[in-house]
Structure 1
Amino acid sequence: MSPGKYKLTVELGYVGGNRKKKNKTVAAKNDTEAKKKLVLFEAKVLSGNLIDSTNMTLEGFYPEWKEKYAVDHYGEKTLKETEKIIDKRILPAFGSSKMVDIKKIHVVDYFSDLKKDGKRLDGKKGKLSPSTLDNIYKAFNSIMKVAVEWELIPSNPCASVKLPPIKHKKEDVYTVEETKKLFDLLEKEDPIWQLIVQSAAVLGAREVEIAALEGKHLDFTDNSITIEQAFVVIEGKGLVLKSTKTDQTRKISVPADLMRALKKLRLIKLEQQMEMKNLWKWEDHLFLFSDEYGQPYRPDSISHVGQDFSIKNQ
């Protein structure tokens, strides 16, 4: 055994006349540290919590990854989407493979094949988009990265695998002239929907962000609005409020006319909140675009209204 390396052995008795044991090689500074690691190793083995890394398949490791890692590191919606990718994409290709046998060339070949025509699961023609390939890679990489951290495999075969670059779509933001024209066209629309479309146009925000705007996000000292949260729709739960990622949080200057209108709307919402009392749907939240009970409009309803408005004014 090379310097700094120790072989740990835990005796498990005899089965059918054959001696049974578990071995593991670890790095340790000295005998004292090695003995400590032996105690921990023995406790894991005897408690039945040790994962057999030599024979563990990806399909066998998947529940371990999900239970002991994913549920604590993924949001509910992201976890469901990741599980779907693993179930439909990764397990059919690598599920029966032993973790230690999956090499980088296998991952490279896998993604090279996914870039070909006919790999979509929705029956449509064409290739998978770079963003879809990236999501598949992220799910695969997460499992293998955790396997390395848990010392089940020596290295991550997904590391440094190159994928096609993703071209991020720039959010559409109206010019001053376009905004004025838009506001003129909106005069015939319902006041609340006027504000929704105007806010979306000025802020360049997504429907999920517009729906999550609250009174606290309005800063009347400098006529600005902070976007720091968004709604996600989760099956079985409905609307769930989430903070935006750090690089997506922003503070945007807004025309004074729009801020005055939003200030009036905020006062209306405060009055409704006081009137409804315990009937108010979202305690401690004052969503600007909501019904009289404080229930925010769904992002998809905001999207449909915006589409209808665009069609009418083409």
Structure 2
Amino acid sequence: MPAKIKKRSDDSYLLSVAVGYNDKGRQIVKTKTIRAASQREAEREYTLFAAEVQKGTVAYTGKYKLADFAKTWYKDYCLKNLAPKTQRSYRNHTKNRIIPALGHIDMVKLRPQHIIKFIEELRKPGLRLDGKTGTLSDQSVMYCFRVLSSMLQDAVQWQIISNNPCGRVKPPTIKHHKYNLPSEADIRKMLVYLTDEPIKYRMIILLALDSGLRLGEIMALRWDDIDFKTSILKVEKSNQVLGGKGIFTKAPKNQSSVRSLALSSSVMDLLRKYSVWQKKQKLILANEWIDEGWIFTKWNGKAMYPTTPSQWFSKFLKRKQLPHMPFHALRHLSATLLISLGIPLKNVSSRLGHADIRTTANIYGEALQSVDRQAADQLDQYFRKTINK
């Protein structure tokens, strides 16, 4: 352990206070250089500094590489607090992008300039983890920045650093992805074609359109989540699939994603028919059926893989020669239809489970502008009629 008070020059002293050990068994020492006229004054300053350290108001000032902290952070925070899929994503981004670029830097020496350069490097070709050519998407760059910022914010909370340098950097910009939604004619064709498809998949597609639920939320639905008397659907969880782990159920994306919403009468009617169909399947399979209460299942009653509806939907559109769109676009189509019908944005946002109404406004700006133009045209008609009278 270094000396508590070490004289460096005539009026300069280095104060050192030990505060325990890091994950490698090395002693953590917080230091402070002061100016003092005498040894006695230095001792008084040391007493004050030691008190601040004990209160937890002084950040760690020793050498601690970002790579070492990242490993500790993953073990002590990510593994204990994040869902399995998020854990794996954080680990991949930390291991493959953050540590190679910033891992050699001492935590206390990390500056906004390092973060800015890191973001610039992320935009260069060759960093994709899926083997595809080209550069990372805006969303991937932002996600990586958020992982780093989350890590450094915890470092502040744990008193490893005094502030988060990401907070002093302008976040990467994201151009919101614009879905090329089908025309009204193609939507009508799709709905007509669905009537001849297996009831299970017809039910999934129409429920997605009616509710605007995320695919994982649909796959996590059980029969007791639906009140057939009130036509109210409860959304409280989400199903995901992860290699090596299989299907697992987790809490929804955020607290606002836990919600209740009303379903249309036509979808409720189809749900009742689907329920009867599923009960018949149970009788046919007898002991082979594993009853876990899922609405959408594999052949034997086990939870359906979250990727299955997407694959089926893609093949269905191709088979019917309809424009391709990802399954998630059904959520956007549902929201766009609601907005076009004049449903208030706040209600649309709550139905989608967005944490912030601004998220809804940003994503559906064009649809909102279209409705706004309709409102202006109706006002114009009112003014003209009134003036002509």
TM-score normalized by structure 2? 0.61
The CA deviation at 1:306 is 0.9
The CA deviation at 1:82 is 0.6
The CA deviation at 1:311 is 1.1
Q: How does 1:117-196 map to 2 (within 5 A)?
A: 117-169=125-177, 181-196=189-204
Kept in 2, the 8 Å contact 1:208–1:230? The answer is yes
The CA deviation at 1:199 is 1.9
**Aligned counterpart in structure 1 of residue 256 of structure 2, from 247, 254, 276:** 247
**Aligned counterpart in structure 2 of residue 313 of structure 1, from 309, 320, 324:** 320
**Aligned counterpart in structure 1 of residue 271 of structure 2, from 262, 269, 284:** 262
Kept in 1, the 8 Å contact 2:126–2:135? The answer is yes
Kept in 2, the 8 Å contact 1:173–1:202? The answer is no
- In 2, distance between residues paired with 1:270 and 1:171? 38
* Greater helix share, structure number: 2
CA RMSD of aligned residues (A): 3.9
In structure 2, the partner of 1:81 is 89
In structure 2, the partner of 1:238 is 246
- In 1, distance between residues paired with 2:184 and 2:265? 13
Q: How does 1:1-314 map to 2 (within 5 A)?
A: 9=17, 22-24=29-31, 53-169=61-177, 181-244=189-252, 245-266=254-275, 269=278, 272=282, 280=290, 282=292, 286-291=293-298, 293-314=300-321
- In 2, distance between residues paired with 1:177 and 1:280? 41
- In 2, distance between residues paired with 1:124 and 1:184? 37
The CA deviation at 1:93 is 1.1
The CA deviation at 1:119 is 4.1
In structure 1, give the amino acid aligned to 2:319: K
In structure 2, the partner of 1:47 is none
**Which secondary structure state, in structure 2, belongs to the residue aligned with residue 159 of structure 1?**
helix
In structure 2, give the amino acid aligned to 1:265: Y
The CA deviation at 1:132 is 0.4
In structure 1, give the amino acid aligned to 2:194: L
Kept in 2, the 8 Å contact 1:148–1:155? The answer is yes
The one-character-per-residue Cα deviations of 1:154-179 (angstroms, maximum 9, x if unpaired) are 22111142233334457899899866
Determine what percentage of the aligned residue pairs are the same residue: 25
Kept in 2, the 8 Å contact 1:265–1:288? The answer is no
Aligned length: 283
**Which secondary structure state, in structure 2, belongs to the residue aligned with residue 232 of structure 1?**
strand
**Which secondary structure state, in structure 1, belongs to the residue aligned with residue 233 of structure 2?**
strand
The CA deviation at 1:261 is 2.3
- In 2, distance between residues paired with 1:203 and 1:234? 25
The CA deviation at 1:34 is 5.8
The CA deviation at 1:228 is 3.5
Kept in 2, the 8 Å contact 1:77–1:234? The answer is yes
Residue 120 to residue 101, structure 1, CA distance change in 2 (3 Å) = same
Which consecutive residues of structure 2, in runs of 5 or more, have no partner in the other structure?
6-14, 21-26, 33-46, 322-389
TM-score normalized by structure 1? 0.74
The CA deviation at 1:52 is 7.4
Which consecutive residues of structure 1, in runs of 5 or more, have no partner in the other structure?
2-6, 13-19, 26-30, 42-50
The one-character-per-residue Cα deviations of 1:210-234 (angstroms, maximum 9, x if unpaired) are 2222212323344343434221112
Kept in 1, the 8 Å contact 2:210–2:267? The answer is no
- In 1, distance between residues paired with 2:259 and 2:317? 26
